[in-house]
Amino acid sequence: MASHWLILALAVVTEIIWALSLKYVQLHPSPWVVAGSIALSFVNMALLSFAMRGIPAGTAYAIWTGLGAIGVTIGSIIWFGDGMSAARLFFLALIVGGVVGLKAVS
């Protein structure tokens, strides 16, 4: 069961990198960058699918999307200069609370 959580963690990291790669494609379009983004998408889905073998689908998906959203938001602030506000941080904290709660009851 612990290995499923590790696979889910890898899926979350891949999700973050993939989503940030979509923004990178817009800034630096090239066939290699697009191919990398497409490849990340396939790896991302495969990892999520494997994680769902041992974690309830709703829990895995909620954690994957929640932590992915947090990671993409932080990454876009760091690497692409997106704005940060107290309201954004508050709502990101709510997502973290939801993820912790889901993990606690799973």
Residue-level pLDDT at 18:
97
Length of the chain: 106
Residues 59-91 pLDDT 10s: 999 899 999 999 999 999 999 999 889 998 899
Structural contact between residues 76 and 20, judged by C-beta atoms closer than 8 angstroms: yes
pLDDT above 70: residue 1: no
Q: Name the packing angle between helices 31-51 and 57-80 (round to 10°).
A: 150
What are the structural domain ranges in the chain? 2-105
Q: Residue 101 corresponds to which tokens in the numbers above?
A: 């709660």
Residues 7-42 pLDDT 10s: 999 999 999 999 999 999 999 999 999 999 999 999
Higher pLDDT among residues 5 and 2, named by residue: 5
